Amino acid sequence: MADKLVIVESPAKANTIKKFLGGSTKVVASMGHIRDLPKSKLGIDTKTFEPQYINIRGKGDLIKSLKKEAKDAKKVYLATDPDREGEAIAWHLANILGIDENKMCRVTFNEITKDAVKKAIQNPRKIDMDLTDAQQARRVLDRIVGYKISPVLWKKVQKGLSAGRVQSVAVKLVVDREEEIEKFVPEEYWNIYATLATKKPKKSFEAKFYGKNDKKLDIHSKEEIDKILDELEKAKYVVSEIKNGEKKKTPAPPFTTSTMQQEASRKLNFALRKTMQVAQRIIWRCKNTRKGNSWFNYIYENWLYKNIRRSKSSSKSAYWKYIWRRILWK
């Protein structure tokens, strides 16, 4: 019997966290959501907007197993992801397992490291019902829009089309923008730029024509610009005011997986697969460097491996001697 039970979403995360918490704590995975709205009907009371949840088909055995583990454990911690979906999953788990949602049973961490996980377990909190309600509102709206409007599209437009809380609005914005583009009537306009010299030799700056008497003036024809140029050529220019200010530029946030892939594609023309391979290689090298392996060792191992593939007996012997020395040193 485990003293503590920690429930996460994915089995991979469960296996990693299990190593951090020791034998007295059991870590299991919920495999994502365990309850949802039924697929065969709307599943929402249209008067009160109360959702009618059911256990997801195929997760009966998992739910039985979670109930048994929760019954045997002295303390249950819900460590699903730290977002509104994760909060909702924790709330569903609490309902199914008979855990009071006002109990300090919810733990969250933003990195899967030993210190972060242990600190989270030591500082549990209540389930955040604001986040949970936000997820439920999104889910209910998705279902109502999808189930009520999609059939109308099938009858009026074309079968197979779907409506959605986000996609329908996005399509409307695209259509409106396209209509604006089609209705656009091109207009002729001109800008005037001047390079002005200062009293200091070899010093100059660029200025843009704004208007007359502090009023902006738009130029729409060559006749107008010729008239203005005649006036500007005879004018004297004075810098009447200088505005000084500070600009703060904050550094870009650390990459997420998606932003890393976007930047690699935009700047390096990398495919998604290549980006992830390079990232994994960097992580592998960093891990080996932390363990005490130098870059020289890494390069030497690669050189030996390439020589083995050429089937040189001397290289094979050197490679295996080197590997055995590394094993003994560790």
The C-alpha atoms of residue 109 and residue 6 are separated, in whole angstroms, by 13
CB burial of 239-249 (b: ≥16 within 10 Å; e: otherwise) equals eeeeeeeeeee
Sign of CA pseudo-dihedral 31, 34, 37, 40: positive
pLDDT on residue 311 = 45
| DSSP three-state, residue 149 | helix
pLDDT value of position 328: 44
Q: Distances from the Cα of 105 to the Cαs of 93, 102, 125, 133, in angstroms?
A: 11, 8, 6, 18
**Which of 239, 164, 155 is CA-nearest to residue 197?**
239
Q: Along the 330 residues of the chain, how does pLDDT read in single tens digits?
A: 668 999 999 998 999 998 888 778 899 999 999 999 999 899 999 889 999 999 999 999 999 999 999 998 989 999 999 999 999 999 999 999 999 988 999 999 988 888 989 999 999 999 999 999 999 999 999 999 998 999 999 999 998 888 999 999 999 999 999 999 999 998 888 999 988 888 777 788 888 888 888 888 888 888 988 888 888 887 888 888 888 888 888 888 888 888 888 988 888 888 888 888 888 877 776 656 555 455 555 555 555 555 544 544 455 455 555 554 544 444
What pLDDT is stored for residue 24 in this prediction? 84
The answer to whether the beta carbons of residues 99 and 126 sit under 8 Å apart is no
To the nearest 10°, report the CA torsion of 253, 255, 261, 262: 0
Across the chain, where does the E strand assignment appear?
A: 4-8, 25-29, 35-36, 54-55, 75-78, 193-197, 204-208, 211-212, 215-216
Q: If you compute the radius of gyration of the chain from its CA atoms, what whole number of angstroms results?
A: 33
User: Rounded CA gap, 212 and 219, in Å?
Assistant: 12
Predicted local confidence at residue 281, as pLDDT: 79
Give the β-pairing of 193-197 and 204-208: antiparallel
Which tokens go with 244?
């000084």
Domains of the chain, CATH where assigned: 4-133 (3.40.50.140), 193-234 (no CATH), 258-329 (no CATH)
